[in-house]
Structure formats: C-alpha cells, structure tokens
Amino acid sequence: MTKSKEALTRFIREQRDEKNYSGLPLKGVRVLDMSTIVAAPSAAMLLGDAGAEVIKIENPSVHDGLRAWSVVEENGIQPYYAVIGRNKFPVTINLKSEDGKRIFFKLISQTDVFIENLRPGSMEKMGLGADRMLALNPGLIIGKVSGYGQTGPYAMKPGFGTLAEAFSGFTFLNAHPGGPPTSPPLALADFIAGLHLAFAVVVSLRSQRRMESGGQVIDISLYEPLFSLLGAEFLSYHLTGEVPQPIGNELRGAAPRNNYRTKNGDWVALSCSSQGTWERLAEAMGRPDMIKDPRFLTNEQRITTESRRILNETIQGWIGSMATEEFLDICTRLGLTSGPIPNMKDIGENKHYHERKTLIEIEDPATGIMLKMPDIAYRMLGAPAKIRFAGLPVGSANEVIYQDLLGYSAEDIERFKKEGAI
C-alpha cells in the first residue's frame, strides 16, 4: 500500500538531516541531476552513495524514461529507478516557464555539481547555457553526457548506449568467430560513462569552492569510455595493421581461457592463462605431456588458432566428464582459477554474496515493500558510502526542497503547481 504524501514528506525531510551524512566522504556536496535513463543518472547515483545531496530534476509532464522500465505490475515498483534513483530527492521543474527558470537558477546558485544529458546545444537554446550558469556560480562543475560528445561531426546525432557500444568497437568484437556482432544484455556503455563522469566530478571537486572558484565543464561521450577499455585492441591494430577479429569467450593475448560445460549441464569459467596455472591444469587433466609439447610450451604457442582448438577440446572433454561440484572441488584443491557461471536465482542463494553483503535489503519509501538490490560495489574503512533509500516517486521532494532549501512558502509552491512551473 502506497504511503501517504505527508508520510513521504516526513521521510524525505528526515533523510535530508545532516546526521544521515555523517562520515560520508562527499558530505556537504550538492548535486543537481537533470539527466535521464542510465549514463548520467548513474554518475549522480554514485556521488549520492558517497554522501552528496542529490536533487533529481524531472519535467512535470515528461518523467525520466527509466521509471517505465520493467515496472512490476502487482505493486508498481520501478526496479531500474529504485536502483539508479536511490539517494536522490526528486523535484519537478518546467524550464519553459519563467518561474521554473527562476527556481532552477536559485538551485544552481546553491549547488556544486550540475549533470545533464540533453542533446548538445539544448541548454543554450533554453537560455541555460554553461556560461550563464558559471557567471551565476563560478564554482559550478557541469557534467554533460551525450552520445558522441559536445564536438565533432557526430555531435548532433541521437546518442543511445546500444549505438555507442557499436561505435566503440565493442559490439564487433563481442562475438564468436563467424557469428554476429552481439550487443551486451545491459546498459554497458552507459554505466561505464557514468563511472567516468563520477570520477571526473570528484577530481574537479579537489579544486572547487561553491559560488567562488573552480568551475568546470566536463564533456563525456557514451562511446569513448568504452572504447578506452579496448585500448590494447586498437594499439595492436596500429602496430600490426591486422584488424582484431571476434574471439568468443577467449582472451586474445593468453590461453587457455574459456567457458566450459560440466557433466550435469552447468557452465563454468576457466582462466589458466599464466604459465603456472596452465601447468597445474595440465597435471590435473592427467596430461603432463602437454606441458612439454611445443604447441603448448609457452603462451605464444598456446594462443595460435590450432593450439587453442586442441586446448578447448581437451579441457571440455575433461570438465564434461565431471559433475560441477567435483570439478570445482578439484580447482579449489589444486589452485586452478575456475568458477561457476550463476544466474540471478543462483546469485540470490549464494552464501558468498550473502556473507559479504553484496546484496542489500532496503525498504521502498513509497510502499513499504522490502527491496533487495546490489549494494555499493566498493568498501572504504572510516568513510563508507551508503545506500540510504531507494528511488522516490516523481516530485515527492518538491515541498521539502523548495521550502527548506530555497525558502519558498507553501503558497508559492501551490501557485507554481497551478501555473505549471513545477
């Protein structure tokens, strides 16, 4: 059952209390997140995890599209927004309204970081360009995310993660030999761009002072962060002139490394690409002769096409003769680097995930339903990051932010609503 508006307002007011930020490394930093879907919002999410106060701006009539992804019909939970909208206080502003623009600039004047992902030039067309914001707040750090960056011949092209993954070269390489290029089953380019933006913001904060100095404009494209992770692939092409081709689940520079199936049909990952682990694998398979075989003697010999074929056939034959637990027990005993390939159900039941607290259980502030989601992916002694609450409903922080932070009266807010400014 959805909580009352009054109860949700009390919750938001309590969450803005300074005690909830105690010990968090970005305590005192304020972020305005006016972005949508995944890339830029995930950067704001990471900053919020670390203790920044994140105010999420949405258009009153066109909300963040992420709210519509995979909504659970029985209870209305928005799983993607619950995760990426966490630790954010949602407000609504109509930037086509003069009152809306005044509210926006009042927020900007009290903010450290502003994040947006509109098409290049859109902010300027609305009279909200970086120059104007920096004149008002010389310490403002502005993060801009777009498909192809703010400059270049493709700057005005529509930018989506799927296109960025393709343009980066990742999709071409993400295939089995002879198979079709394969897009990842997640917003890979978006999340990697978000990580880079969050890093750039934290770097910029080192020399920033709100309203005083250190203003910055950060230009992040969706394709370049992912392309940078393929750097060795491009350098290899540059040095040899040979275009790297898809190699499936293997590693171009080392072997053996692949996914194999056990006797009972489970998949396991195996990477014995260092000399020591390869030799232990050969001994475990009962094939010590392969260690001295010229075809497998060194990594350079093992990565040739024919050597890979023989290795994969031999390893699959050995692994396929055993039940999963038997194989994994052998790997543990002999120090072979292999492990299971779990699905989400397996992860939910895995004791390591539970004992390490990789998953967090947290109450949905709007409904009271308990949600289980990935916890923050890093740990810090003394200055921990923290998921304080899951994503909140559209505009649920309007009264709190506009009254408590900006000083507007209840009458002002009611007027803004009637006039369509919020």
Q: Which amino acids are annotated catalytic?
A: 190
Q: Diameter of the chain by CA atoms?
A: 84
For 143, other C-beta atoms within 10 Å of its C-beta total 28
Distance CA 146, CA 131 (A): 19
- What does the DSSP 8-state code read for residue 95? T
Distance CA 181, CA 347 (A): 28
Angle of the 275-284 helix axis to the 324-334 helix axis, nearest 10? 130
- CA distances 108 to 26, 350, 401, Å, are 18, 45, 13
Distance CA 127, CA 98 (A): 11
Q: What are phi and psi of 277, to 5 degrees?
A: -70, -35
The bridge status of strand 359-363 relative to strand 370-374 is antiparallel
Task: Give burial (CB, 10 Å; 0-12/13-18/19+) of 368.
Answer: exposed
- Residue 324, both tokens: 């999963």
Distance CA 41, CA 35 (A): 6
The bridge status of strand 53-58 relative to strand 30-33 is parallel
Peptide bond into 256 cis (omega under 30): yes
Task: Give burial (CB, 10 Å; 0-12/13-18/19+) of 310.
Answer: middle
- Residues 26, 51: contact at Cβ < 8 Å? yes
Distance CA 196, CA 42 (A): 10
Instruction: Report the DSSP beta bridge partners of residue 247.
Output: none
